[in-house]
Structure 1
């Protein structure tokens, strides 16, 4: 590693610490020539497959697109930035473990929704509401109930009563 101060090619590692569940390393370094100290971060770079859109176009994976959607769903929810970043890291890890060069956009959305459901069921419902494109509430509720049924290990976290949602609120 080159010293950012004097460009000496061989610097010394003083301290190393693992970050983000072992996916990153923080290193404190020192230059033997000028005694300049600085910090470097090493992060595992995953090979996330390209995305095949619904119209068969292919585009490279874009972390920002997923981040925007998840952040929108998590607005005003009690989630930290670290939790959201960990969720995005988990999505990327899941996609990279499929060992495919391409993955269908629908699969990406399903992975995001599963991870989001585990983290915050309300944010999951918000994400589902703009991920799925519905014209009426009945179709949305039906699809939501079916998708929740697929998450067998955490099935009972959300209860949606169609009758309660269809009642008109009383004004007092």
Structure 2
């Protein structure tokens, strides 16, 4: 995300004055004269890269807005019911479905039998949904959480560690708009 930087001009009084020194090789060295009344913002890679990041963020945001407008245009007619349905779909797309799942492992380490099918409360139109998870409790080493075998009505998940029981909080987003 772009972090705004307030740029400052370098201000010297008197302005545009230099001390001139003639060197032994015939060259001249100009040294700024006067008193600095405001130190300017450093023209460094960090500051210029920050600007580039802001431009990239802006470009991405505009492209996302254009995609959303095209989606709205392709799905609506002049009917108010279509617009209400689309608004409900967009809200469902970004509002997470929350669940708590307990995974149990009946096998001894290094084996693991914790795979479980998780049903979605609302079927999806596509498998293009994300599953965010957070381990809320466990009675041992969890290892990694693995989400796989996505379907329109659910997915499977497991853990790879040696724990016997792991409770996971889930947030499922997306997959509503085809």
Q: Would you call these one fold, judging by a TM-score over 0.5?
A: no
**Higher strand proportion (structure 1 or 2):** 2
Higher helix share: 1
Scaled by the length of structure 1, the TM-score of the pair is 0.25
